[in-house]
Amino acid sequence: MGSDKSEYDKKRNLEKSGEPSGNSSGSAGKNSFVIQKHDASHLHYDFRLAIDGALKSWAVPKGPSMDPSEKRLAVEVEDHPLDYADFEGVIPEGEYGAGTVMVWDRGTYSNLRADKEKDSSMAESHKAGLIEVWLKGEKIEGGYALKRFRGGKKPQWLLIKMDDEKADARRKPTSTENESVKSGRDMDEIAEEGDDD
Ligand code: MN
């Protein structure tokens, strides 16, 4: 067995939790994003963007807003393997991130900073601490900016809806759209599945 395991692998007992191993290329495409609703010690939304073969990940306590005047805290956490984007289920007690995970939204993104003037790749944008993407999901659509305001071990960013034609302060999908885009289940239904193990 190799000893050079990633932080992600070290934190997970994969056989026990049934989470993806990260060994396959996964079904997440090159420009995919996913938002997983995660009822762990604190309910939050994990926002993940596929960048250079991994899912860059942020824990967003309040989830995405459609209102450009709202800034949502997004704490950067460790990269996840691409195939984690499909994971929905229950991470058992005692495991890292124990709790229920829902595929709340998913889709594709385009890099709004990749135009000719700026010519910034996603990796460069991430490094620079300013990401601008157009999301095309089933619930969330439109431009979003991620701005890093504090570095360190768990860098802190703000997730902000850009002011475009998809902005809508009245729409609150994190309150009104509570079902999985993968299975149609709500959090309770996903959690019940975990009880059968
Ligand atoms: Mn999480």
Number of structural domains in the chain: 1
pLDDT at 119: 75
3-state SS class at 176:
helix
CA of 124 to the centre of ligand 1 (A): 25
CA of 118 to the centre of ligand 1 (A): 32
pLDDT at 30: 76
pLDDT at 193: 85
pLDDT at 190: 97
Host domain of residue 126: 3-15+25-190
pLDDT at 4: 46
Nearest-CA neighbor of 46 among 13, 16, 8, 14?
8
Q: How far apart are CA 28 and CA 24, in angstroms?
A: 11
pLDDT at 13: 53
Would you say residue 68 lies in a domain? Answer: yes
CA of 113 to the centre of ligand 1 (A): 27
Would you say residue 103 lies in a domain? Answer: yes
Would you say residue 195 lies in a domain? Answer: no
Would you say residue 197 lies in a domain? Answer: no
CA of 116 to the centre of ligand 1 (A): 35
Would you say residue 173 lies in a domain? Answer: yes
pLDDT at 39: 97
pLDDT at 12: 58
pLDDT at 197: 44
CA of 12 to the centre of ligand 1 (A): 13
Would you say residue 196 lies in a domain? Answer: no
CA of 117 to the centre of ligand 1 (A): 35
CA of 100 to the centre of ligand 1 (A): 9
CA of 112 to the centre of ligand 1 (A): 26
Would you say residue 74 lies in a domain? Answer: yes
CA of 38 to the centre of ligand 1 (A): 5
| Parts of the chain with a pLDDT under 70 | 1-29, 116-117, 194-197
**Residue 104 contacts residue 36 (beta carbons within 8 Å):** yes
pLDDT at 65: 98
Q: How far apart are CA 144 and CA 31, in angstroms?
A: 15
Could you tell me where the beta strands, DSSP code E, fall in the chain?
Answer: 32-39, 43-51, 54-60, 71-80, 89-91, 99-111, 130-137, 141-150, 156-161
Contacts for 140 with CB less than 8 Å, ≥ 6 apart: 35, 64, 66, 105, 107, 173
pLDDT at 113: 93
CA of 49 to the centre of ligand 1 (A): 14
